[in-house]
A = this chain, B = another copy of it.
Amino acid sequence: MVTRTAGPDVDTTRVAVSTVIFSLRRDPADDRPAVVMPLVRRTRDPYEGLWALPGGWLDLSESLDTAASRTLGETTGLAPSFLEQLYAFGAVDRSPSRVVSIVYWALVRPDEAERAAAEENVAWFDTADLPCLAFDHREIVDYALWRLRSKVGYSRIAHGLLADEFTLAELREVYEAIYSRRLDPANFRRQVENSGTLIPTERFRTGSHRPARLYRYNREVELADRGPLTHSESSRS
Contact = CB atoms under 8 A, between A and B. Distances in A.
Given A100-B15, A154-B154, A2 B1 contact: no
A88 B64 contact: yes
A91 B58 contact: no
Contacts of A88: 64, 85, 88, 102
Contact of A2 (B12, B58, B61, B62): B12
Given A87-B229, A143-B228, A11 B60 contact: yes
Interface residues of A, number: 42
Output the residue of A5, A88, A143 with the most chain B CB within 10 A: A88
A224 interface: yes
Contacts of A92: 60-63
A64 B233 CA distance: 22
A237 interface: yes
B90 A87 contact: no
13 contacts: A2-B2, A2-B11, A13-B58, A60-B92, A63-B91, A63-B92, A64-B88, A64-B90, A85-B88, A143-B228, A143-B229, A150-B224, A150-B227
Interface of A: 1-3, 5, 9-15, 58, 60-64, 85, 87-92, 98, 100, 102, 139, 142-143, 146-147, 150, 154, 224, 227-229, 232-233, 236-237
